[in-house]
């Protein structure tokens, strides 16, 4: 689990057959994460293509029974960064920057 002060770069949001995949890059937990604010490396495209292919393959496989229980699905229902019983853990969400969370969207 990532610490609350972690930073992530959103590499991709992908929908496939009614399922959504969000690809994140966990950034260094010091001031170096700021280096990623305005750059896009060519390797990001390779990562996105690879994760999309693996996601499509996994979507075609049988569901693991333990991950289809009511209890597990309820636990995973809230989107990333959201606490189901309360409000967002990212109260000052900004699409470009959010303190202690996602730094930017590539695309």
In a domain, 14, yes or no: yes
Evaluate if residue 51 carries a pLDDT over 60: yes
In a domain, 3, yes or no: no
β-strand partners of 19: 16
Evaluate if residue 26 carries a pLDDT over 80: yes
List pLDDT tens digits, range 81-100. 554 444 444 333 333 333 33
In angstroms, rounded to a whole number, what is the distance separating the alpha carbons of residues 35 and 24? Answer: 16
Domain, as residue range, for 25: 8-105
pLDDT at site 80: 60
In a domain, 56, yes or no: yes
In a domain, 21, yes or no: yes
In a domain, 101, yes or no: yes
Number of domains in the chain: 1
- φ, ψ for residue 13 (rounded to 5)? -125, 125
In a domain, 2, yes or no: no
Sort residue 81 into left (φ over 0), alpha (ψ -120 to 50) or beta.
left
In angstroms, rounded to a whole number, what is the distance separating the alpha carbons of residues 66 and 73? Answer: 10
Average pLDDT of every residue of the chain: 74
């Amino acid at each position: 689990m990532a610490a609350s002060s972690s930073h992530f770069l959103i590499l991709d949001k992908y929908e496939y057959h009614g399922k959504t995949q969000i690809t994140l890059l966990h950034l260094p937990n010091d001031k170096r994460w700021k280096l990623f604010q305005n750059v896009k490396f060519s390797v990001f495209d390779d990562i996105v293509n690879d994760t999309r292919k693996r996601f499509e393959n996994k979507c075609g496989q049988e569901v693991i029974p333990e991950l289809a229980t009511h209890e597990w699905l309820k636990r995973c229902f809230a989107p990333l960064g959201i606490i189901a019983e309360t409000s967002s853990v990212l109260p000052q969400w900004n699409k470009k920057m959010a303190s202690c969370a996602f730094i930017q969207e590539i695309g």
